Amino acid sequence: MNKIFLLLLFSFISFLIIFSLFPPTIYVNNLDKNKKIIDMVNKEVNIKNQENTIMMFTPILWHYLSIEQNDNSILFIPKYIKDEVKNSMLSKIYPSILDKKLALTSVGAVPLGVEQILYEKPEIIFTFAWFSKELESIKYPGVVELVNDNEIKKEKFFRIIGDLTNKEERVDYILKKYDLKMLDIYKKYSENKKTSIIVIGDNNYFIWNKNFIAFNKLIQSVGIFNTAQNMKNYNSTINIEEIIEMNPDVIFITSSYKNQLNVLDIYNNPALQTIDAVRKKKVYSMPSGMSRMEGPIEAPLLLEWMTRLLYPKIKWDKSYSQSVKETYEEMYNYEMKEEDINQFLNIDKNSYSKDYLKIFKGE
């Protein structure tokens, strides 16, 4: 009996020694259960892993990063997004984005096929609802369908990303700051004056029309009216005669990398000399931010820029440059330098236009 007891005791002690020297590897999943979210078409999406590796086809990268605050989970982005990153402030704040693999596409942001997805096996795929049918046909999990969000605040989309990343408090903070910033601008604007504008989107004079619902809502809040919003309801270019007929007070040019048109091109075009905006030197390149100057972080900056530009008599508590610097430091943890501010404001391009340097560099 004693021999048996001693043998068992020896075995137990040996086990403890071996266990202490070579402990087993224990894998812990931070998520107790599969993560479930509801996407923008009210479809339930099951996210099975804590890694959240992402393939992104939709133009939401800048919004996602403002919530997640790192790009570790993003593995694949399409070429058109990478091209935007190269030509925006985003490349300075998150330079590693330029090293991400390409999400293969055939036309625009439309997925090339399911082969890459099945091979790479991303856990989350951001795609527009109107071209996700192919992915649905293979029942690939983790497909988050988005729709064009015509709201300035984009709250529904931000709530989805906050839920997905467990950053609900971060989203609450961003949306609250948006409300406060917009309220401040609304309080300062008290003029009854209406200003007519058009926005030129590319070299071929593509004009932002009624399809740009969020933008049109944004500017109307401070008495700015997009003269082209009553145009036909599809994307197209227009001819010079139509611009002359609209005769806007101000012309804005988008800062998209694809738009090679600049302020001097408008001023030097003989056909446009009778337009009020050209005669009065009120043609301006819009700010160049994280990408598209939209959403709850940069839409208020765009509106403040327009309000300061068109209503220079309004008194502000701080300079616009300071407002931009504080926003980028608070939201992106990025300290903007003087060259960043000049790039953001397109100082060189706008130096030919009325009062631009006085308003934004003489603050």
Domain parsing of the chain, residue ranges: 35-166, 181-360
Residue 19 confidence (pLDDT): 35
Residue 111 confidence (pLDDT): 61
Q: Are 30 and 50 in contact (CB under 8 A)?
A: yes
Residue 257 confidence (pLDDT): 83
Q: Are 128 and 136 in contact (CB under 8 A)?
A: no
Common-topology check for domains 35-166 and 181-360: yes
- CATH for 181-360 is 3.40.50.1980
Quick one: three-class SS letters along 280-336? CCCEEECCCCCCCCCHHHHHHHHHHHHHHHHCCCCCCCCCHHHHHHHHHHHHHCCCC
Per-residue pLDDT of the chain (363 residues; tens, 9 = 90+): 455 545 445 444 544 443 343 343 332 333 334 788 888 888 888 887 656 689 998 899 999 999 999 999 999 999 999 999 998 999 999 999 999 999 987 655 556 667 888 888 899 999 887 666 667 777 788 889 888 778 888 999 999 999 988 999 999 999 999 999 999 999 988 776 789 999 998 888 888 988 899 999 999 999 999 999 887 655 556 678 888 999 999 999 998 888 889 999 999 999 999 999 999 999 999 999 987 899 999 999 999 999 999 999 999 999 999 999 999 999 999 999 999 999 999 999 999 999 999 999 866
Residue 317 confidence (pLDDT): 92
Residue 194 confidence (pLDDT): 87
Instruction: Name the one residue in this structure whose structure tokens are 């609250």.
Output: 176
Give the separation between CA 239 and CA 262, rounded to whole angstroms: 18
Sequence length of the chain is 363
Q: What are phi and psi of 124, to 5 degrees?
A: -130, 135
Residue 85 confidence (pLDDT): 93
CB contact burial 246-255 (16+ within 10 A = b; e otherwise): bebbbbbbbb
Residue 3 confidence (pLDDT): 53
Residue 206's CB: how many other CB atoms inside 10 A? Answer: 18
Instruction: Name the one residue in this structure whose structure tokens are 């593995």.
Output: 75
* DSSP per position, 203-236: TT-BB--TT-HHHHHHHHTTTEEEGGGGS-SS--
Contacts of 2 (CB under 8 A, 6+ apart): none
- CATH for 35-166 is 3.40.50.1980
Contacts of 35 (CB under 8 A, 6+ apart): 46, 47, 48, 164
Radius of gyration from C-alpha coordinates of the chain:
26
268 three-state secondary structure:
coil
CA-CA-CA-CA dihedral for 333, 335, 340, 345, to nearest 10:
70
Residue 252 confidence (pLDDT): 97
